[in-house]
Structure 1
Amino acid sequence: MHIGVPLETRAGETRVAATPETIKKLIGQGHQVTVQSNAGLNASLPDSAYEAVGALIGDAGAAFGADIVLKVLAPDATELARMRPGAVLVGMLNPFDDDSIARMAAQGIIAFALEAAPRTSRAQSLDVLSSQANIAGYKAVMVAANQYPRFMPMLMTAAGTVKAARVLVLGAGVAGLQAIATAKRLGAVIEASDVRPAVKEQIESLGAKFVDVPFETDEERECAEGVGGYARPMPASWMLRQAQAVHERARQADIVITTALIPGRRAPTLLHEETVQLMKPGSVVVDLAAAQGGNCPLTVPDQVVIRHGVTLVGYTNLAALVPADASALYARNLLDFLKLVIDKDGQFHLDLEDDIVAACLMCRDGQAVRVNSR
């Protein structure tokens, strides 16, 4: 089959959907691969690196005109118009964007959004959310360290002792756990909070202290278990108690990293303005939920602002700040997904009995497969 890898044109997007490593494997399976010129340049992958493994270098029309198109983000209207009916699109297409999915359906393509893959052991190798969140958690700490006007570790010098930074991580999913691990490597003192009691052991194993908010009702305990590895919205009574615990910890923290997200919904508010007002001057907040409204109402998407003496970082695409490794991991995720939709003869095969394929399928035959309620 002919596989196309276009250049990502969204502002700030530096990743690429395939690397020489994965393209070499695809070509080894008998496929022809066309990479749009300069598609990998921002990820330190020049055209010559792709040509060295047998890829063809072409323009946008050649990449989007392929049988299977590999993307990082959903195509815009101009890009979508370049795809032919019946073509297959694979990428992070935002399964909760009904309008975008409807446009893809109208174009007559078959689209797979890998964010919709089930959180199962079998799907781990193609879990794009985890691979990219892992990078975001790491980069969040590095960005915070850059903005923080003091050292992260404790230092004992001839001029005196510098205390270690106190870091509070809100949300202990993949990004939060990586943030804890990275902050620990930098010598910080860390506390972390999450609605799910099951992550307490993971938090403590990484060297952080768990901020425990006890459950008072069966409803609170049931919501905390989550669904498919994701957190669920918690009852107002628990959120109030958690807000008070976070308020007290944040006042003492030097750096707060918030990572709480609920797929398809606005991010929960965890860090209120009243709390920010009481934080120490020079403190830093990195809000990984900025793209979904933010865990702090003062966060401004894609900007660094100072409010009440606190620096708030609202970068919405932290993984794109580490484009080489982010692309490498993402490309491997795509390669593993393609194994499920390409048969042993090298042809596209849609197996709806496969739970991963069925979950990721967004549209086919001119119809959206799943429409999300708003």
Structure 2
Amino acid sequence: MRLTLLATCLLLAGFAHAQDAATRLADDAVIVDTHIDAPTELLDHWADLGGEVKGREFDYVKARRGGLDVAFMSIYTSPEQDAAGTAWQTANAMIDAVEALAQRHPGKFALLTSPRDVDRLRQGGRVLLPLGMENGAPLGDDLANVQFFFDRGVRYITLAHSAPNRIADSSYSPAKTWNGLSPFGRQVVAEMNRVGIMVDVSHLGDASALEAIRISKVPVIASHSAFRHFTPGFERNISDAIAKAVAASGGVVQVPFGTMFISPESAADGQAYYAARQAFDRRNAELLAQGQPVLDQAAFQRDWAPKHPPRGSTLAQVLDEIDYGVKLIGIDHVGIGSDFDGVGGELAEGLKTVADYPQLVAGLQQRGYREADIRKLLGGNLLRTWRAIEAGAQPAR
């Protein structure tokens, strides 16, 4: 009995020591998360993220607890907003919300527009807020908007989201409009290269992603893409061939924590949902064209949800994604893009908020990663890629 008690005490002491070591490394390393959907949450239901906010996955208190330094704020617009012509307005309102947050709490947050400023601006415990535009819809059909949004602070653009747009095809849509980039999309990529905005191939159909990588003159990123190896047939996740192309460009694949991306069962549910929803929307379009009453969207959701309850995922599955990526494309080309506040709370156990990065660090340590390599995964790789993209930019004409 005494030996059992002693062994238990030693085990707990060892666990506490490991957690302390992970927390120290998380605090000291530069953690860069390339995808946090706090701006969408701010517009849907405002809260002051300078304090701790119940129910939010990102706020200042949680960020400091987790050691987060650089939090890319996702400026997300939907295909519906694109179709309605409101994407430009929504994007600017979101950017205003992030600017207001930094201005209201200058000792806690700072806007970040260049990797050169990370060390200076994070002094004093600030959390830095660069902007990533999820969906190129706000560009409309005006190439000048690339420069406009660069001037507003946007430093990556996910070319498309859950439907084809003027630029590229979406991975979620089985029907491809462009089978690559559109003519305008090729101009957009060139202009992004010129001004210094990272080209993001997450969410893209395979042909669109490959063409964007091929024609970009600087590295490209996948801001939040798990590996398709674990979810066969789920085009939303990055294929081995595309991941290798991203790495060959000098870029980085950022692994998300969302259950739908890392759980094969949840990914299958997601594919089924998008197929059913697209069929539903097509039927409504037919009914509308015939002058008949359309089907009820709320009823569709009510019918779908109980038949497809949320599934779980684990920290181990996130670590498996990282392990696979490192073996496939090398330690210099993998990072993290959580999708916090963007997946309805359906996240891996142990990685529920930005306070939980030390859990990820502890998991990496337990799997034998060296400290220098953990620092690369947490943010060093993304910052190196960003510096290369910035260096490739050209002065304004």
TM-score normalized with structure 1 length:
0.29
Q: Which has the higher helix share?
A: 2
Larger radius of gyration: 1
Q: Which has the higher strand share?
A: 1
